[in-house]
Amino acid sequence: MASIPPTPPPPDVPLGPQMCPHARSFADWCDTLVSAATAKNDLVSLNQAKLLLIDRYFMWRVNVPVRHQVFPRPTSVHVCIFAVFESAYRRLQDAILALGPSPLVHPPYPAPPPPPAPMYETVNGIVVGETLDKDFEP
């Protein structure tokens, strides 16, 4: 059985001036998303941001010209939306990993609330005092 080679990390091409206009506006949106999520720095916010990023990337992708939809890797002359997506995803993933291992099971359910106190008092099994409920029957 052939082993699967590890995925090489993306090249560290700066996302600066080589960004095409589509990537630039996507990068602005990504920066806002990542900044807000990393400022909260909790697992739920970061995971929500990651899901939103993925959804938004694919929505963005179908709305740019075909040439920009299939642009695989950043180059020194063209950094496109996938590179921006990948960079934002990595920043979110790094923040998630910095919080420690993710739980593998749901947290336990909270204990149910205690039953309501009876509306009457008993002494040796005999109801004493007044009841607040007109239809009370011991």
Binding residues for Zn ion, per CB under 5 A? 20, 68, 80
Question: How far, in Å, CA of 85 to CA of 71, rounded?
Answer: 12
Closer to Zn ion at the Cβ: 22 or 96? 22
Return the bridge partners of 79, or none. 19
Please choose, from the candidates 58, 71, 66, the residue with its C-alpha nearest in 3D space to the C-alpha of residue 19: 71
Smallest separation, CB 21 to Zn ion (Å): 8
Task: Please tell me the number of Cα atoms within 13 Å of 5 on its side-chain side.
Answer: 3
Which lies closer to Zn ion via its Cβ, residue 20 or residue 27? 20
Pairwise CA distance, residues 57 & 138, whole Å: 65
Q: Which is nearer to Zn ion, 19 or 92 (CB)?
A: 19
What is the nearest approach in angstroms of Zn ion to the Cβ of residue 112? Answer: 55
Give min distance, CB of 62 to Zn ion, in A.
14
